[in-house]
Amino acid sequence: MRAVWAIAVKDLRVLSRHPAALFWVLGFPMLQALLFGAIFGGGEPGANAMPVAVVDLDGSPYSRALAERLGRLEALRVRPASYDSARALVRRGRLAAYVALMPGLGGTLGFGGADSTGGIELGVDPSRRAEAGVLEGLVTQAVFQAMQGEFGAGGSGREVVRRGLEASSATRRRRRRTARGGRRCCAISSG
């Protein structure tokens, strides 16, 4: 090991006699490391977070849990807002997007359905369309995590399945009535 140190010290002495060589061997690689570290460095957590408004129009435990999960994501800088103000802020370019949790969302747990008006509405600033896909992925992640929490909570999974089956049965009955000439009913899905 002593021989390795002796060779290294000898090479540094020879190198120190040529300032240009010293710069290219030690100085330039250090400058490159600093430059690329500044460009690709992480910076502060949340510094590049997407500014988003979350509008909870449902107010159910599920929608509150979903809004809370969205708020905990590091990729989003979430602020609560009313529906109209969120749309206006996105339209003016002050926010990248808004996520509206529509009434009835808690009853469907994000599954939607033909008779459901509940859903999730995403409003994205047209100048920031590239971020729309990222936001959709993050919302999907939060939806599935919130659903996992609902199904995993002691015994509430059965209640979720029961509500889903009731909604499905009601949809089938409505379709049968419509097919027999009964009254046609339409639901608007905002999700």
Which pLDDT score is estimated for 22?
84
Which pLDDT score is estimated for 183?
39
| Structure confidence by residue, pLDDT tens digits, 111-124 | 555 444 468 889 99
Torsion region of 127: left, alpha or beta (phi above 0 gives left; psi -120 to 50 gives alpha): alpha
Which pLDDT score is estimated for 83?
93
Which pLDDT score is estimated for 91?
92
Higher pLDDT: 169 or 68? It is: 68
Q: What's the CA gap between 42 and 38, in Å, rounded?
A: 9
Q: Which residues contact 150 (CB under 8 A, 6 or more apart)?
A: 62, 65, 109, 156, 157, 160
In the block, residue with structure tokens 């971020």? 131
Are residues 117 and 103 in contact, defined by beta-carbon separation less than 8 angstroms? yes
Which pLDDT score is estimated for 47?
60
- Residues above pLDDT 90, as percent of the chain: 20
Which pLDDT score is estimated for 89?
92
Are residues 133 and 99 in contact, defined by beta-carbon separation less than 8 angstroms? no
Are residues 71 and 56 in contact, defined by beta-carbon separation less than 8 angstroms? no
The least confident of 8-17, 31-40, 116-125, 130-139 is 116-125
- What is the per-residue DSSP string for 80-122? E--HHHHHHHHHTTSSSEEEEE-TTHHHHTT---TT----EEE
pTM of the model: 0.57
Higher pLDDT: 159 or 65? It is: 65
| Structure confidence by residue, pLDDT tens digits, 25-75 | 888 999 999 888 888 776 665 567 889 999 999 888 888 888 999 999 888
